[in-house]
């Protein structure tokens, strides 16, 4: 870790804890800052705050007193999930207090190169693939995963050495709080509309994602999804070297799919059928990862070995088990129609039982009609089951079964299946009507699958 001096004896306010705030507070304290932590959760229910207090760090919990900002802070480090219209954040902006997220601190202390991955969908899978590829033939150091994937960036950066790499998943929320942050390689997996409740407009959302490259130079590389005309146009605005990837066209200067093969420039790396995860979206993810691996010097054989044995990230088209000739897949992370549509592209619909449903956000599902056509059966649950049933009828699905939740859907799906079929949980909805998060929903699905073996 670089022993930077800029925070010594500076007053810094860390707003919001969770993993990133906790790690940021510890790092800043180690760097000699005078840290104050403010978190909304009451102290008696806040183990992170209790831990920091034991380390001698000042904590204020249970509310966000606006008068805190009378203390002449030099910096605010904000939890990414806290919006900028939060009264304390808005007041800090009014007072011209710099507002950063924890990934900026990570960049400031990191001794090693950073590979940053952002986009609307596929970030976690692509980040995981890149980490596997960079560790495949490594003889010195390690590629660490960090960021939005669940490992606080500042904690990872503090332990990484100059011989390592940090492969960092970055959300739009995190990227809004950077200043000098500059990855050696940046990846944008795709760009759709998302998080408008936070960003207010699509333009704001896209600008937040595009910030990943704003400090890059001609010595750096930005890997972009060339299937997106928007990203093609945006590529003209970066100083970094552009490395495109596409499933639709041959790219002599990038990664692409051609006649069932995955290529980098003119060189075939492997067959798409060798990938350990299904779906057209995972071909895109793999192409992005291949581009990074080739830029970092990984051999074709190393790439082929890593990607053929990678069977997915938990809850993202994750292979679960094969029971009596039926394959089960957990795609609980599919919390919108686009994610489900992409997951379905990896399966033969005539041999597929789909489990879907969840929180009703007021939207319809007619955009899924083309993807639903030919599906053998659909098992529906949650608040949106009636809406999804209407979509299934329009798509011509003849077997539509309603049930109460994921756990009851699994045995019903098995009853409708035959040897050779796949059973896929890809809800197309958030989980919050019945489950605290998509991870718990996916865990319930996997547990129900295991029960079939008894």
Of 57, 83, 100, the residue that ends a domain is 100
CATH of the domain at 49: 3.40.50.720
Annotation-wise, does 396 bind a ligand? no
**What average pLDDT does range 241-246 have in this prediction?**
98
User: How many domains does the chain fold into?
Assistant: 3
Annotation-wise, does 120 bind a ligand? yes
Checking if the pLDDT of 194 tops 80, the result is: no
Of 58, 74, 100, the residue that ends a domain is 100
What percent of the chain shows pLDDT beyond 90?
Answer: 89
Together in a domain, 70 and 38: yes
Within a domain: residue 271?
yes
Annotation-wise, does 121 bind a ligand? yes
Annotation-wise, does 122 bind a ligand? yes
Together in a domain, 289 and 161: yes
Annotation-wise, does 357 bind a ligand? no
Q: What is the pTM of this model?
A: 0.82
Annotation-wise, does 124 bind a ligand? yes
Together in a domain, 421 and 343: yes
Within a domain: residue 2?
no
Within a domain: residue 394?
yes
Residue-number span of the structural domain to which 406 is assigned: 318-451
Together in a domain, 259 and 202: yes
Together in a domain, 136 and 39: no
Of 100, 117, 136, the residue that ends a domain is 100
Lowest mean pLDDT among 28-32, 215-219, 317-321, 390-394: 317-321
Together in a domain, 331 and 283: no
CATH of the domain at 107: 3.40.1190.10
Together in a domain, 410 and 378: yes
| 329-348 tens-digit pLDDT | 999 999 999 889 988 988 99
Within a domain: residue 149?
yes
What pLDDT was estimated at residue 401? 98
HEC sequence for the chain: CCCCCCCCCCEEEEECCHHHHHHHHHHHHHCCCEEEEEECCCHHHCHHHHHHHHCCCEEEECCCCHHHHHHCCCEEEECCCCCCCCHHHHHHHHCCCCEECHHHHHHHHCCCCEEEEECCCCHHHHHHHHHHHHHHCCCCCCEEEEECCCCCHHHHHHHCCCCCEEEEECCHHHHCCCCCCCCCEEEECCCCCCCHHHHCCHHHHHHHHHHHHCCCCCCCEEEEECCCHHHHHHHHHCCCEEEEEECCCCCCCCEEEECCEEEECCEEEEEHHHCCCCCHHHHHHHHHHHHHHHHCCCCHHHHHHHHHCCCCECCECEEEEEECCEEEEECCCCCCHHHHHHHHCCCCHHHEEEEECCCCCCCCCHHHHHHHCCCCEEEECCCCHHHHHHHHHHCCCCCEEECCCHHHHHHHHHHHCCCCCEEEECCCCCCCCCCCCHHHHHHHHHHHHHHCCC
Annotation-wise, does 119 bind a ligand? yes
Together in a domain, 174 and 239: yes
| 110-130 tens-digit pLDDT | 999 999 999 988 899 999 999
**What average pLDDT does range 217-240 have in this prediction?**
97
pLDDT band at residue 443 under the 50/70/90 scheme: very high
């Amino acid at each position: 870790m670089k022993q930077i001096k800029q925070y010594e004896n500076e007053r810094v306010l860390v707003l919001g804890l969770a993993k990133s705030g906790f790690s940021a507070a510890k790092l800043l304290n180690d760097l000699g800052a005078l840290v104050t932590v403010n978190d909304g959760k009451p102290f008696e229910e806040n183990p992170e705050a209790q831990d920091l207090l034991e380390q001698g760090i000042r904590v204020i919990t249970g509310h966000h007193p606006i008068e805190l900002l009378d203390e002449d802070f030099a910096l605010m480090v904000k939890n990414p999930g806290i919006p900028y219209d939060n009264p304390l954040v808005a007041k800090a902006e009014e007072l011209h207090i710099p507002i950063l997220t924890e990934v900026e601190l990570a960049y400031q202390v990191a001794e090693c190169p950073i590979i940053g991955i952002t986009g609307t969908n596929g970030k976690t899978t692509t980040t995981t693939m890149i980490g596997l590829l960079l560790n495949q033939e490594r003889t010195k150091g390690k590629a660490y995963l960090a960021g939005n994937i669940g490992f606080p960036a500042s904690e990872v950066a503090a332990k990484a050495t100059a011989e390592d790499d940090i492969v960092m998943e970055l959300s739009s929320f995190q990227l809004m709080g950077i200043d000098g942050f500059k990855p050696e390689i940046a990846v944008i997996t795709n760009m759709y509309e998302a998080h408008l409740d936070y960003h207010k407009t699509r333009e704001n959302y896209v600008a937040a994602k595009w910030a990943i490259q704003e400090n890059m130079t001609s010595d750096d590389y930005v890997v972009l999804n060339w299937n997106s005309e928007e990203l093609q146009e945006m590529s003209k605005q970066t100083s970094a070297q552009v490395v495109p990837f596409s499933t639709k066209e041959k790219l002599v200067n990038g990664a692409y799919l051609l006649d069932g093969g995955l290529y980098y420039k003119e060189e075939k790396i492997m067959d798409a059928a060798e990938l350990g995860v299904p779906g057209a979206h995972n071909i895109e993810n793999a192409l992005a990862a291949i581009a990074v691996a080739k830029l970092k010097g990984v051999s074709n054989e190393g790439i082929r070995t890593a990607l053929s044995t990678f069977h997915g990230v938990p809850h993202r088209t994750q292979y679960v088990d094969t029971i009596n000739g039926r394959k089960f897949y957990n795609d609980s992370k599919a919390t919108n129609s686009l994610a489900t549509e992409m997951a379905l592209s990896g399966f033969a619909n005539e041999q597929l039982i789909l489990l879907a449903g969840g929180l009703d956000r007021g939207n319809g599902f007619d955009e899924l009609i083309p993807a639903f056509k030919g599906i053998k059966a659909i098992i529906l649950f949650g608040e949106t089951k009636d809406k999804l049933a209407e979509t299934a009828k329009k798509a011509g699905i003849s077997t539509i079964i309603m049930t109460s939740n994921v756990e009851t859907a699994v045995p019903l799906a098995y009853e409708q299946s035959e040897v050779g079929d796949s059973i896929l949980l890809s809800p197309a909805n958030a989980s919050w009507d019945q489950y605290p998060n998509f991870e718990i929903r996916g865990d319930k699905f996997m547990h129900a699958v295991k029960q079939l073996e008894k």
